Amino acid sequence: MSNSSIQWTQKTWNPTIGCTRVSQGCKNCYAFELHDKRHKGWQDGWEDAPKQYHKPFTTLQIIPERLLEPLRWKKPSRVFVNSMSDLFHPDIPTEFLDKVFAVMFYMAEVHTFQVLTKRPERMKAYLKDPELPKRLVAESLAIIDQTFKPSAVWAREPWIQKNGQKNTIEARLTQLFELHNSVKHPNIWLGVSVENQAAAEERISLLLDTPAGIRWLSCEPLLEAVDLSKWLLFLDWVVVGGESGAKARDFQIPWALDLLMQCKAYLTPFFMKQLGSVTVKRSKILGENGILHGRLSDKHGGKIEEFPEFLQVREYPNG
């Protein structure tokens, strides 16, 4: 859909829009606030408002015309899937999920897709469905029938040729699924949000029981100290961030440092995204008791060069 300012990704792709709150991490959701501000603008007379803003954020909207956007991106990119929704929201039909995952598998030799959910129970059930590989192969072949242009895809894969392209992709995907005995790819990363210990206990075990090439956590907004030690041996990436926005809740730098130390102990890549708005406010008043050197210039506290040196860490899976 667009280039992204989110530090751990490069593009966002939103084939659906809208969500409903399920836990404490959703309380001050940026997507909720942004969308409903624009929805109010439409209600107040913004005649040219894009159609998606004609409905409130709590109404989940399917946007099929966005499905094939990743096929048009020639440059390999990290792609955050559904930054303005939750891909496993119950109102998204399984048939549409199949189409989204077919695009991801179809383009996974070019892009890296980053999926994040607060609904891991549905993600697990979906990815473990024994009929899913057949459905994804069928949807991938449908993509070829509809839109395939050799110059626009498989930028890294010269093996794909116009003649025999359907047989090649069908064989490649079938081989991939049989190799892993499940639906997973190293360039399709599946993650869950973990804002507190309760979310960790509820969601991480479900993630670990889900077929995935990369399993990761987004501990943002981090609302308290969290112990991940019993799961880190099986996780591939941990992202940490404080909450941003006018209503941001507290974030303590020692919470992030503790998670960094946990990750180091298990050699799990760690990514410090942002210090959050509360830390920015503190930096202007107290200098964070000497931990921060001066004021933070970014309102989200996202400039790595302004972090305490021990938190200037932005690692990715597989180096």
The answer as to whether 6 is a domain residue is: yes
List 64's β-bridge partners, or say none.
none
Edge-to-edge strands, sheet with 11-13: 2-3, 11-13, 78-81, 112-117, 188-193, 214-219, 237-241, 270-274
Residue pair 150/162 in contact by the 8 Å Cβ criterion: yes
Specify the pLDDT at position 165.
58
> Which residues of the chain, if any, have pLDDT below 50?
1, 150-163, 288-289
Tokens of 23: 């836990």
Please tell me whether the overall predicted TM-score, pTM, comes out greater than 0.85 for this model: yes
Altogether, the residues listed in the chain come to a count of: 319
Specify the pLDDT at position 5.
92
Q: How far apart are CA 261 and CA 229, in angstroms?
A: 10
Specify the pLDDT at position 296.
87
Among positive and negative, which fits the CA dihedral 168, 173, 176, 178?
negative
The answer as to whether 97 is a domain residue is: yes
Residue type, 129: D
The answer as to whether 73 is a domain residue is: yes
The answer as to whether 16 is a domain residue is: yes
The answer as to whether 304 is a domain residue is: no
Q: How far apart are CA 301 and CA 277, in angstroms?
A: 6
The answer as to whether 9 is a domain residue is: yes
Specify the pLDDT at position 159.
37
Q: How far apart are CA 239 and CA 269, in angstroms?
A: 9
**Residue 289 backbone zone (phi > 0: left; psi -120 to 50: alpha; other: beta):** left
Pick the closest to residue 65 from 18, 15, 113 (CA basis). Answer: 15
Q: Where are the alpha helices (DSSP H) in the chain?
A: 30-43, 94-107, 120-127, 132-147, 165-180, 197-208, 253-265, 277-285
Which residues are CB-neighbours of 65 under 8 A, at least 6 positions away? none
The answer as to whether 162 is a domain residue is: yes
Number of domains within the chain: 1
Specify the pLDDT at position 138.
87
Range(s) of the domain holding residue 87 = 2-180
The answer as to whether 132 is a domain residue is: yes
SS3 206: helix
Residue pair 79/12 in contact by the 8 Å Cβ criterion: yes
